[in-house]
Amino acid sequence: MALEDAKKEVDLAFTQPERRGLAYENAFGGATSFLRRRYTKDLAGVDLAITGVPFDQAVTHRTGTRFGPRAVREASALQPFDLPYGWGFSPLEEFDIVDYGDVAFDYAKVSDFPDTLTAHIADILKAGPGTVTLGGDHYITFPILKAYAEKFGPLSLLHFDAHSDTWADDDFTRIDHGTMFYKAIKSGIVAPKSSVQVGIRTHNDDFMGVNVIDAREVHETGAAAVVKKIKAILGDRPTYLTFDIDCLDPAFAPGTGTPVWGGLTSWQVAAILRDLAGINLVGGDVVEVSPAYDTTGATAIAGAHVAHELICLYCWTRRKS
């Protein structure tokens, strides 16, 4: 059946008659929505909306992540043929998932961007679905968290990264991808005691009370122990998961702005994310994919896989019994 479908399926981002189903369109052709989901602004009946944020004006080093959403969408064309490995269910067939497209903003009015993004996410949440966002630099998580906190109250943050992004910065007009979680905690929208940072391997004098599982602990204790510790901290609290692709070692994800050696391997991340099934995930993002430094496409491929796993995590607790 898949072979027969492949002969006739094309541009499913626009021609897909239904929101549900696997896709067999040639991976190397067609319009590149995320996982070949339908592009739409109609959120009626939608369970989960994928959206892109092509913003990289908050970086401390290399720019280029504005092209991340496009690259991750293209890389995802390899994935919608089959069920996601190891999950035992098919979110693309069981849930209404759409590609909502990118946020619109004036690139020359950077100061307006945070409120624009918060409103963009808030509009989606008001319509019903959750979001998985494709970045963009990591600053984007702060405006997104504001929208989520309006709906859910203070959130638990599950943060995969080489950097804590909690460096002190009391100037809330600054737009910086290294200080936004300091501001999120100071603003009361993230509850640090029930939050976890995984893969950290850069120094910070103050982690703002967030629980840290650094990269060395992941390597030495293993994925199963890490998952057990994360679940104990999160409990059943509403959790937002943000994944900076530089959590992966540069050997696995070279295409990023601030790479740091000693990071997690692809298999460690895959095992951790799959075993986190059952956490109360309300939304998530994948950020800091920078195609200009991604000569093989490996980083965008990793980003697409992480985003697919976030979809699985979101849908896992929402399946019909």
- Positions at the binding site for Mn(2+): 138, 161, 163, 165, 244, 246
Question: Which token pair is 99?
Answer: 């590609």
User: Token pair 């009370």 is at which residue?
Assistant: 209
Q: How many other C-beta atoms lie within 10 A of the C-beta of residue 151?
A: 15
Question: Which token pair is 286?
Answer: 């994948």
How do beta strands 239-244 and 196-200 pair? unpaired
Amino acid 52 reads G
What is the Cα gyration radius of the chain? 18
C-alpha 230/C-alpha 224 separation (Å) is 10
Nearest C-alpha neighbor of 188 from the set 200, 172, 199, 212: 172
List, edge to edge, every strand of the sheet that includes 239-244.
Answer: 97-102, 48-53, 130-135, 281-287, 239-244, 156-160, 196-200, 211-214
Q: How many other C-beta atoms lie within 10 A of the C-beta of residue 8?
A: 8
C-alpha 202/C-alpha 81 separation (Å) is 38
CA distances (Å), origin 90, targets 19, 84, 94, 115, 224: 13, 7, 6, 35, 24
Residue ranges at the known binding site = 138, 161, 163, 165, 244, 246
User: Token pair 């999950």 is at which residue?
Assistant: 87
* H or E segment and range at residue 147: helix 141-152
Nearest C-alpha neighbor of 142 from the set 133, 249, 214, 51: 133
Question: Which token pair is 51?
Answer: 């959206």
CA distances (Å), origin 42, targets 70, 103, 320: 21, 15, 24
